[in-house]
Amino acid sequence: MKKRLLINSQISHVISKMGHTDMLTICDSGLPIPKDVERIDIALRKGTPSFVETLDAILTELKVEEIIIASEMKNVSNDLYCEIVKKFSDIKITLVSHEEFKNITKESIAIVRTGEFTPYANIILKSGVVF
């Protein structure tokens, strides 16, 4: 049995296949998911699992060198924005419009859909290297 926090087999499998600069998206329950990108739907009900708890679990296994978030998050969901900025204070944070964010998700290896209902609770994690 897996020893680490992240026990979701689909997410673990995707992370194990990722190389440098590959992207994984974590999204709220409303973000449109492109047809050609693997959907990992872990949403159970409103708020479960939350965006932050999903992000924290994924970060136990994924080395991240850059994140991409929608600039709208800063004004609409400022508490979440501040939490993300604090969590990623040592890496590059790229802000793009929500429309551009949705276009970039087409390049993701997979998109993990949570039960989050907070507007703009979406993030693209760009994989780093561990050496």
- CATH number of the domain to which 87 belongs: 3.40.1650.10
Q: Is residue 39 in a domain?
A: yes
If one counts the domains in the chain, the total is: 1
Residues in the chain: 131
Q: Is 28 annotated as a binding residue?
A: yes
| Residue 81, marked binder | no
- pLDDT exceeds 90 at position 60: yes
8 is in an annotated binding site: no
Backbone phi, psi, residue 80, to 5°: -65, -40
52 in a domain, yes or no? Answer: yes
> Contact 118/51 with Cβ under 8 angstroms?
yes
d(CA 104, CA 60): 24
Instruction: Tell me the β-bridge partners of 48.
Output: 45
- Residue 3 covered by a domain: no
What is the extent of the structural domain holding 106? Answer: 9-127
For residue 101, is it within any domain? yes
What is the pLDDT at residue 5?
Answer: 80
94 located within any domain = yes
For residue 52, give the 3-state DSSP assignment. helix
**What's this model's pTM, rounded to 2 decimal places?**
0.96
**pLDDT single digits (tens) 81-131:** 999 999 999 999 999 999 999 999 999 999 999 999 999 999 999 999 998
SS3 11: helix
Higher pLDDT, 33 or 1: 33
Catalytic residues: 20
C-alpha span between 111 and 34 (Å, rounded): 9
Determine, yes or no, domain membership for 58: yes
CA distance 73 to 68: 11
Query: Does residue 108 belong to any structural domain of this protein?
Result: yes
The sign of the CA dihedral 69, 72, 73, 78 is positive
Residue 104 lies in a domain: yes
110 is in an annotated binding site: no
